[in-house]
A and B are shown apart, each in its own frame.
Chain A
Amino acid sequence: MELLIITVVLGLISFFVPRNSIKLFGLAGSFVSAAIALIHLINFETGSSVSIFETTEMPFGLTFQIGYDGLGLMMIALTNLIVPIILLSNYNNSATSENRVFHALVFFMQFGLLGVFTAADGILFYIFWEFTLIPVFLILYWFGKGTNKVLLKFFIYTLVGSLAMLLSFIALGLKANSFAYSDLLAVHLPAKEACWIISGFLLAFAIKIPLFPFHTWQPDTYTTAPMSGTMLLSALMLKMALFGMMKWMIPLAPEGVAEIKWLVISLSVIGIIYAAIICIKQQDIKRLFAYASISHLGLIAAGIMVFTKNALVGASVQIVNHSLIAIGLFLVADILESRLKTRELSHMQGTATLAPKFGFWFAVIAFASVSVPFTAGFIGEFTLLKELTKFHFAVGLLSATTLVFGAVYTLRAYQLSMFGAPKNESFEDLRWNEILVFILLTIAIVGIGLFPQFIADLVGPSLDKLIIIFNETTTH
């Protein structure tokens, strides 16, 4: 229980911490939450599921159950380890890092995320899912540069999706007379009904991920959000959707998967290529990384839809990998934007000469994002593409073009901003906290690149269970 409560407590205390020490408090608090997650990780027995809190005595078939298995724990650990890194990256952005409300919102956001990853009840999942929207929206609204129009688009978009998901939950819950995860799983549906229900989930998740063509809220939102907001969105919030697809959408209505499989995979593949091509001529570095994110996530979504053990293992590795890379890339974008006061690539030429440390670490992140050997992406992409090729040759081949396009746009962004004769007079090289972030990210990326088995072992038994459920229903 302390896992969730600590974030609420931290959030509440944040309001009363003196202004000059809020930075340190936030950082320390987030590290405590990370430590708690690590303790859970160490004590976790592979293949077990841990109940955190449970009561079934509630009206309307509602239950209050939270707990986690391997898959949930991976997401919990990811959340609790990423939040300190985000706060560390943000340490010197005084507009946010010295603000009490900001820290409170980040901790509430963390609370919501942990709720999503631990909820074992449909309605509870939905409540946490919606809850996360509030703090992140306020962060964007109070600390970002987004116009009301951009924020409204983001808000309406995600809300419409969530409501469709709520309908699906209600429909399922009425059948099961309960909203508990285990009861929802037990419901058998006719194919057509399952189709309805699964598309309710799909709308919510497709918007959040986002899948083509539901992605138009994303580039605007990412570019106008403050760095920490972009990081929360891309590294953590959209992972809720991928997690939701794996744990909720497909196992709850496996009968409908056959009908929508091709639709989702096609959209994912279109997204991979479409977003990558847009990146090739993109001039705004933050927007470029936003589109790159769409391209990377398309691959994960396609892999999840294939729903084999290998594909899900690959997707899990890639989920973690994408979070790390997203943090790195958006930190790079923010360093450039805040010091040069522009996001245009054409104004950045030659920065590596002025700031060699920055040039080096940006190169590391850029190479990690094109999935070179020794990085987590190398393993994740290899596994996902292997499964997609096995699923259908054309799908695998088209998805694999990300290898080429990724190299084109990532290296272009790197070269235009870093190489050539310097255009600016000076550029402040990395500060200690930024270097620390890059080092931590690199350790994690290379660590997973060499020992991906750790993740596979953690999530493996949970994935096996999901696949058994899926296979039992679909083969009947």
Chain B
Amino acid sequence: MGTETLILLVLLFPLIGGILNGTIGKNLSETVVGTIGTLMVAIPFVISFSIFLSLDSVVNVPLFSLLKLTDFSLNAGLQVDALAIWMTMIITGIGSLIHIFSMGYMKGDPGFYKFFTYLNLFIFSMLILVLGSSYFMLFFGWEGVGICSYLLIGFHYNDKEKGLLNTLAARKAFVMNRIGDLGLLIGCFLLINLFGSLEFSVIAEKMKSLSIATDSVAIIGITLCLFIAATGKSAQIPLFTWLPDAMAGPTPVSALIHAATMVTAGIYLVVRSNFLFELAPYTQHIILYIGLATSLVAAFIAMRQNDIKKVLAYSTVSQLGLMFVALGLGSYTVAIFHVTTHAFFKALLFLGSGSIIHANHHEQDITKMGGLKKYMPVTHLVFLLGTLAIAGFPLLSGFFSKDEILAAGFVHSPVIFSLLILSASLTAIYMFRMYFLVFFGQFRGDHHTQEHLHESPSVMTLPLIVLAIFSVLGGALNLPDFIVSNGSHWLDHFLNHGTFGLDKIHPHHIETSSAVGIMIGTSIITFLIIGISYWMYVSKQKVTKEEHDFTGWEKLSSKKLYFDEIYNALFVKSVEWKASKVLPFVENRILVKGIGLLTQVISFSGSQIRKIQTGILSSYFFWMILGIVGLISYYLIYFKLWNF
């Protein structure tokens, strides 16, 4: 079968899985539902892997035309290139593992079949997003993943205590995403106006012939709109506050959607549009600073979060910020490299936290855990590997990918570089604080929970082990050339050769001496942080305070820098004030009263005139006159206004 057919199968399987589980899943056993759901993602992984092995050129698969307009058509079509197939493999690969994990984690949930339906539909939408051949298809998938994310965050909507809170978080996520979507939509319209098409290939062709000036208004407008879209999906300042709240969803959802795949859609969008961003250094600067600021702010907040999933959520925001820094510096392949390794270790950490939460009777507060090392040996081991990977422990996957971003910053400016080092160090600090508090010391939860502490079943630990292996070895995808002489920077080359636009951009690799220097420097910092954390939390047995005991900077961190409160006061309250006070006043006091007065005048004068004319003049006729009078006066005012 040709690539065209195979790629359609990749898309169709999850859709069929979703439909199957959604319609008849209710009557099937959990094992069957889970197996169907998992297979419908695992098979596409195998297929996409085979496509990946044989892919040598960009394959376009036009499907059908939805709507032909005079100057433009809404077409459905797919495009397979290096970037698309790489993302597809991440989505289906990590997706399969998370599906397997969910079979254990969601066991006994009354909405088991619904969960797998939504997951499969999410995979389907996400695949459309990365495989679409145009911005229209991308938007299609973009909206689709937003809905699945909404449904899955609010999955436990009828929970007695947290039901409404879950749905509020879901709505917040959806609405904030929609603000980003607005950017994407407007960006699409601007693209149509400029290029007359939304097809990536057509726009790419026209870029050559149109010779658009660097930093022209049109290109800055388009790239800014696209970046706004990216800040929504990828949780960057100012639209990042939804992601930590999205942790209200079941943990596998956090791992799949809110860490490994959907939130990287913004990165994908920018990389896909690299040829546009390359012409807009102005926007690139904005991306750089927003990414850097987000990375630092989120890392700072993560320092004093006590909810295990919140720490990981802010960590995700921070890591996404680092990826945007890479994009802002024009290192697109580096960003995708970090997307890849991050997908491994963050999925691992989230699933690991899921395993911990599962064992702790759904307790998520790390002050109520401790000493779990001896109860959950497998989870402990993989969690340790994940923590080491994200903290940049030498030779693990995160070490290499983060190092590339640091190197790009090093070339750009010393200030940016030192801030990146700061962000990376903060990552190690909050991660090891969490790790030691959870696994070392004495168990601090209640007695009942302690009795039931147990290692999770193998259906849950198996995916963890696989992810752990990848988290450790993932760096091998893109080794620097002073480590291996042959086959260095494999991922860079793969993406550069098979993705439009990237073939024009040659990543500048820094000198070997600086590169080695940075690696040694960061390794020393990481070792120091691990040592100090061990001394603080294990040797001195320091336990973090309860949330309400924090003061000073700790309070700022634990209160999330008051972002939610500020947004509430600035935007939510003002719209709600308009909705509940101002507009009803306009509506009821001005418009309704005004019209009411008019009808009263009409009926009153109607009755008066009827008296005078003794019913000869029908009221119908009277209204007619009044209509004329009304029109005349309307026009007198109107034309006067017009002449100004």
Contact = CB atoms under 8 A, between A and B. Distances in A.
A379 B67 contact: yes
Given A277-B575, A420-B158, A420-B163, A164 B631 contact: yes
A274 B583 contact: yes
Contacts of A385: 185, 189
A415 B171 contact: yes
Interface string B506-538: 000000000000000000000000000000000
Contact of A404 (B143, B175, B623): B175
Interface stretch (B90-98, B206-214, B592-600): B592-600
A153 interface: yes
Contacts of B141: 373
Contacts, number: 168
A403 B185 contact: yes
B192 interface: yes
Contacts of A382: 74, 136, 185
Nearest to B587: A278
B570 interface: no
A153 B595 CA distance: 9
Interface string B556-575: 00000000000000000001
B580 interface: yes
Given A199-B631, A277-B575, A452 B171 contact: no
A213 B65 contact: no
Please indicate which of the listed interface residues B167, B628, B634 has the most CB atoms of chain A within 10 Å of its own CB. Answer: B167
B160 A389 contact: no
B626 A160 contact: yes
A213 B631 contact: no
A355 to B, nearest CB: 12
Interface in A412-457: 412, 415, 418-422, 450-453, 456
Contacts of A412: 171
Interface in B391-436: none
A188 interface: no
A473 interface: no
Contacts of B195: none
B193 interface: yes
Interface string B178-195: 110110011011101100
- How large, as a class, is the contact surface on chain A? 35 or more
Nearest to A263: B638
A190 B101 CA distance: 74
Interface string B142-159: 011001001000100110
Contact of A420 (B164, B189, B642): B164
Contacts of B116: none
- How large, as a class, is the contact surface on chain B? 35 or more
B189 to A, nearest CB: 4
B587 A216 contact: yes
Contacts of A166: 624
Interface in A455-476: 456
A421 B167 CA distance: 12
A141 interface: no
Contacts of B603: 152
Please indicate which of the listed interface residues A196, A401, A453 has the most CB atoms of chain B within 10 Å of its own CB. Answer: A453
A224 to B, nearest CB: 14
Contact of A367 (B147, B185, B626, B627): B147
Interface string A342-382: 00000001101100000000000001000011000011001
Given A153-B595, A385-B189, A389-B189, A404 B158 contact: no
A167 interface: yes
A64 interface: no
B140 interface: yes
Contacts of A261: none
A424 B134 CA distance: 48
A287 to B, nearest CB: 11
Nearest to A160: B627
B157 A373 contact: no
Contacts of B74: 379, 382-383, 452
B193 A390 contact: yes
Given A200-B631, A310-B70, A403 B182 contact: yes
A396 B581 CA distance: 27
A420 B189 CA distance: 39
A154 B291 CA distance: 55
A461 to B, nearest CB: 13
B584 interface: yes
Interface string B361-381: 000000000000000000000
Interface in B629-644: 630-631, 634-635, 638, 642
A203 interface: yes
Contacts of A313: 67, 69
A259 interface: yes
Contacts of B136: 382
Contacts of B602: 156
A118 B587 CA distance: 36
B611 interface: no
Interface in A305-338: 308-310, 313
A91 interface: no
A414 to B, nearest CB: 9
A259 B638 CA distance: 10
A189 interface: no
Contacts of B179: 404
A160 B630 contact: yes
B174 interface: yes
B635 A397 contact: no
A71 B3 CA distance: 42
5 contacts: A164-B630, A196-B631, A216-B591, A420-B163, A450-B66
Across the A-B interface, give the 4 residue pairs with the lowest CB-CB distance, nearest first: A281-B579, A280-B579, A389-B189, A281-B580
Given A217-B595, A383-B69, A420-B158, 7 more contacts: A156-B599, A156-B623, A160-B623, A163-B623, A203-B631, A415-B154, A420-B157
Interface of B: 65-72, 74, 125, 136, 140-141, 143-144, 147, 150, 154, 157-158, 160, 163-164, 167-168, 171, 174-175, 178-179, 181-182, 185-186, 188-190, 192-193, 575-576, 578-580, 583-584, 587, 591-592, 595-596, 599, 602-603, 623-624, 626-628, 630-631, 634-635, 638, 642
